[in-house]
Amino acid sequence: MEKVIEQKFKEIKDVFSYAPISEKGSPLTSVDLVQNDKHDSYYFRSLEQKNIKLNKNQIAAVRLTEGPLLIVAGAGTGKTTVLVSRIGYMLTVKQIPAANILLVTYTKKAATEMKERISTIPGITPNMNRQLYTGTFHSVFLRILREQGDQRKVLSNEKFKLVIIKKILQDMNLKDDYQPETILSMISNWKNQILRPSDIKAKTPIDEELKEIYKRYEAWKENNQYIDFDDFMLETYFLLKYEPEILKYYQNKFQYILVDEFQDTSYIQYELMKLLAAPQNNLCVVGDDAQTIYGFRGAESDFILNFHKEFANTNQVILDINYRSTSKIVGLGNEIFRKSKKKIEKHLKSMKEGMNFPKFIRPKNIGEEAEIIADKIESLVNSGEKSYKDFAILYRTNATSRAIYDEFVLRKIPFVTYGNDSLFYNNSFVKPIVDILRLSQNPNVDEAILSVASVFYLKKDEVERSLKHIETMEYIDGKQSTNKLKDVVKMMEKRLRSFQVTALQEKLLELKSLKKMTPEKAIRQIRKGNVFAYEKYLEMNKRKSLTFHKEMVMELLNELENSAKKHKTINEYLQFINQINLTHQKMGEMRTAEDANVVKLMTIHQSKGLEFDTVFLISFVENVLPHKAALFADTQEDRITRRKKEGNLSKTDEAIEEERRLAYVAITRAKNQLYMSAPLNYHAEKAKISRFLLEAIER
């Protein structure tokens, strides 16, 4: 099959002209469907005055106000409009008191937008809008805690949280062994699964350590009267679970509950909604099973797929007319998701025709991929056909964006990245290698010496003390050290065993041999050579890579090695990285300006809920999308598994299902034009076109 597809792509160059086309959606709206003799016609007429004309299924979703309701909102089908119109209907037609309605959103931005849009609905007074109980899961449950007299301070400063974890690690003599960010991520995951320290079953010594860290973190907060963001939900859960009078009060208060982005709901969020909705169960959830992509945050597709099993007599409405994308893009999205093993059956229609088919690019490698995309963007911008802000480049992992990022910096194409603000070259797995390169050229960079301490098997606090001592002696003697790294090692040798001293001396000699290598060869030597043996170091140091799959780490290191190919000397390469760092720092201002004329770079996860005129989906190949980490999920010791799910899918099948949904989300972000790129080679290996694309065009 792949050879046939390859031949087709070769024949048609980059035009994906045999892509499936979606059906045309019905043009009928409330203007045609709601007759004037209906008791609620006045409401729909008032919406029409505001140019809100609902289709048949949207009208049904607005009118169904009693009992459990699942609104399956496909990509671009107007779910926010439906939610806002439904609340307006409840307030004006059904005369439900605003104070009895709870609306929960996924983000603060969504909550604000909903409130603003509700205020424009005819018949909604400012008082009604004020009385609506709206907000994110976190803000709603903090509000409940405050109403019940909980006056503990909120531990919201991320840096302060890291300081607390670092102190705990220091007290446990584990200061250099764990990344504090990783610890906080794991604690958050446990809380989302309603697991307190006493609930965790430790199977290994590392599990025991993590459990103890979690226990001490909770004890510190209790002693200092703090709660963190995840506690907003966890504390409310136990409050409602074990205080029946308080639960009854809120059940009576929230007689009607609406939950937006339900497919992103975690276990604790779902359990809280079930508690509050009982016994009347006037619970309306809006989401799309095809867009459940936050498994790493605890979201589970089973919640939306089995909603009708949890709540008897559930009504289900499918919003199936896409108003965002052209019929050719919607058609491809339909086919991408068609082979999903666990799904709610739906087939989206489109209201936009559009002239352009999705386009396919098959470059030689990721370097050429970046050049082709940069050429295309510059060409369309220079011709006046597009602006930079019309483009988004989507990718599976941050590592995949490295070549695009570098190419744009070289060409001075304006762009911003979103989501995780850390630069590729500053990644915790990448930076030690970059800093070893720095020290091979200049052994006097304090920051680099500290960065590589653990790779040299030295304790960071001892290295830090040695550096401060050297600084003091430089000041007293008036002489600068010619080799700080060597001086640090010499100062620490007295406290080390002979084999450790020998290993350190070998590393110092290795730095000299790296000095004149090409950066690509030097990186390979650091990774796989016998002296630094960086990959073996990572393999042994399981604490450092707790929440990362090995495949993800290797992808980062391969990408680093690949990034060095264009540069002849290590100094030239380091200067380029410094240039990248400066560009990254300047992005801050542009990122906050929503209408900035810049290309947007982001992972597919970060793109969810957004839309763009033109989308480039890069590296759409096997082992990237679907990712290698998903393809071997069953054999991974380092894959964090959640509670047992319903159904008989293996871990690998579940992981591939989520990868398919990621591909669907990426494709359905495009409004008018979609480019998909699948390099022939990825990290020096032949790359196959993603199965998701091949399956979509099978005939």
Residue 494: partners with Cβ closer than 8 Å, 6 or more residues away: none
Locus of tokens 């959640």: 642
Under a CB-based contact definition with an 8 Å cutoff, are residues 76 and 325 in contact? Answer: yes
Residue 130: partners with Cβ closer than 8 Å, 6 or more residues away: 98
In angstroms, the CA 59 to CA 47 distance is 11
C-alpha dist (Å) from residue 107 to 83, 139, 263, 609? 15, 10, 14, 11
Structure tokens of 206?
């590392």
Cα–Cα nearest to 415, from 397, 401, 400, 430: 401
Does 333 carry a binding-site annotation? Answer: no
Phi-psi region of 180 (alpha: psi -120 to 50; beta: other; left: phi over 0): alpha
The Cβ of residue 311 has, within 10 Å, a number of other Cβ atoms equal to 19
Under a CB-based contact definition with an 8 Å cutoff, are residues 298 and 192 in contact? Answer: yes
Q: What HEC string does 96-162 produce?
A: CCHHHEEEEECCHHHHHHHHHHHHCCCCCCHHHHHHCEEEEHHHHHHHHHHHCCCCCEECCCHHHHH
Under a CB-based contact definition with an 8 Å cutoff, are residues 132 and 118 in contact? Answer: yes
Does 78 carry a binding-site annotation? Answer: yes
Structure tokens of 311?
């709540």
In this structure, are strands 685-686 and 681-682 parallel, antiparallel, or unpaired?
A: antiparallel
Rg value, the chain, Cα: 28
In angstroms, the CA 484 to CA 202 distance is 43
C-alpha dist (Å) from residue 153 to 213, 226, 395, 474? 21, 5, 39, 45
Cα–Cα nearest to 398, from 376, 427, 366: 427
In angstroms, the CA 619 to CA 369 distance is 8
Helix 137-147 crosses helix 267-277 at what angle (to 10 degrees)? 50
Cα–Cα nearest to 380, from 90, 99, 672: 672
Does 115 carry a binding-site annotation? Answer: no
DSSP result, 527-550: HHSTTT-HHHHHHH-TTTTTTS-H
Residue 398: partners with Cβ closer than 8 Å, 6 or more residues away: 420, 424, 427, 603
In angstroms, the CA 600 to CA 688 distance is 27
The Cβ of residue 340 has, within 10 Å, a number of other Cβ atoms equal to 16
Helix 79-92 crosses helix 108-119 at what angle (to 10 degrees)? 50
Does 633 carry a binding-site annotation? Answer: no
Residue 83: partners with Cβ closer than 8 Å, 6 or more residues away: 103, 114, 258, 260, 286
Helix 327-338 crosses helix 651-667 at what angle (to 10 degrees)? 180
Locus of tokens 């990644």: 427
Locus of tokens 């801050």: 588
Does 75 carry a binding-site annotation? Answer: yes
Locus of tokens 């106000």: 65
Q: Which helix (H) or strand (E) holds 59?
A: helix 56-63
**Number of residues that make up the chain:** 699
In angstroms, the CA 640 to CA 595 distance is 39
DSSP result, 430-442: THHHHHHHHHHH-
Which residues sit in the known binding site for ATP?
A: 73-80
Binding residue positions = 73-80
